[in-house]
Amino acid sequence: MKQTVLITGASTGIGHATALAFANAGWQVVATMRTPQPFNHPNILVVPLDVTNVASIDSAFAAAIHQFKTIDVVVNNAGYGVDGVFEAMSDEVIQKQFDTNVLGLMRVTRKAIEHMRPRKSGTIIQVASMGGLLTFPAYSIYHGTKWAVEGFSESLQYELLPLNIRVKIIEPGAIKTDFYSRSRTFVKPNHTNDYDAFIQKANQLSQDTGARGAAPEVVAKTILKAASSTSFKLRYVTGFPAPLLLWLRKVLPVAWFMAIVKLAYGIKKMK
C-alpha cells in the first residue's frame, strides 16, 4: 500500500524538490501552498494551505484524507527568513516571522497529531535549520524562530513516543533557494547610519554563502530518508556548511566559536 505525505510550502525551493522526490519514489504526495501551482505529476495532489490560517489547515487535511484516506508523514517546510537590524524591525515584521515559522508549524503539527494519534502511527518532520542550534549576525529574528522550532520539537517527541508518532528535525545549511532573494525580507534603519558597515559585511557574507549553498534536492533526499526510516532518530543535518559548523559548535568552547564568527564578520568591540 502506498504511503501518503503532506508537505507545506511546496511551491518552490526545498518544498518543491521534496514533493518531487517523494512522488518519484512512489509516494502519494499532497503538495500544499498558499497559491496552488500545478506539478503535472500523477502522484501529486496540489491543495491550498496557509499555515497562518487554521481553517485553511483544516481544509487541506480534509482534502488529503478524502483523497488518500490517511496521511503517514507531514513535512513542515513552510517558512521564510527575516534578516537585518533588529532595532529597525517593527512589531508587524516580528509577528509575521513568528506566525509563519513557529505558530504556523505548530498549527500544522497539532493537526497532524490529531490525525495520527488514533492510528498510533505517523511521522512529523520539521524543516528547521543549522540556524536553530547556532547563530550568525543580522539574523536575530530568524534564529529566534528556528531555535523555537528546535526546542518545541525536541520536547514534543517525548510525549509522542508512547503514541508511536515520530518527530524528526531537518537542519539544512545554506541552500540555493529564494531564501536569499525573492522571499527574503531585509530590514535596515533609515534613522541612523551607525549600522552601515555591519550591514554591508553581513549582506555580503550572506549572499556569498547562499551562492555556494547546496541544491534543494540535497535536503529533499534527506527528508525522504528521514520519512522512510523506522528509527526514532531526532536530528538530520544536511547541506554545506551545516555538518562542519554544527560539529565545531559542539566541540569548541562557546567563546571560541563566537570569536570565529566575529572574525569572519569583522565585528570588534568599540574602543
Cis preceding linkage at 253, omega within 30: no
Q: 191 vs 77, 243, 267, CA distance in Å?
A: 35, 39, 22
Position 87 scores a pLDDT of 97
Instruction: Dump the DSSP string for 132-145.
Output: GTS--TT-HHHHHH
pLDDT at 155: 98
Q: Which stretch of 120-134, 135-149, 184-198, 231-245 has the lowest confidence by average pLDDT?
A: 184-198
pLDDT band at 180 (very low <50, low <70, confident <90, very high): low
pLDDT above 60: residue 229: yes
pLDDT-based confidence at 191, cuts 50/70/90? very high
- Predicted local confidence at residue 209, as pLDDT: 82
The C-alpha atoms of residue 163 and residue 109 are separated, in whole angstroms, by 14
Q: Which residue, 125, 96, 97, 103, is CA-closest to 112?
A: 125
Closest CA to 141 of 81, 189, 181, 197: 81
Percentages of the chain per state (helix, strand, coil), in multiples of 5: 50, 15, 30
- 18-31 average pLDDT score: 98
Q: Is the pLDDT of residue 181 over 60?
A: no
**pLDDT of amino acid 134:** 97
For residues 220 and 232, give the distance between their C-alpha atoms in angstroms, rounded to a whole number: 19
Q: Domain 4-265 maps to which CATH number in 3.20.20.370, 3.40.50.620, 3.40.50.720, 3.30.450.20?
A: 3.40.50.720
SS3 165: strand
Q: How many CB atoms lie within 10 A of CB 263?
A: 10
Instruction: Tell me if residue 80 falls in helix, strand or coil.
Output: coil
pLDDT at position 129 over 90: yes
Domain spans of the chain, in order of start: 4-265
Cα-based torsion angle of the residue sequence 178, 214, 143, 77 in order, rounded to the nearest 10 degrees: 60
Residue 143 CA to residue 132 CA, distance in Å, equals 6
Of 85, 193, 80, the closest CA to residue 137 belongs to 85
Mean pLDDT of the region 199-225: 91
Point out the residues that are catalytic. Answer: 142
Query: Residue 135 pLDDT > 90, yes or no?
Result: yes
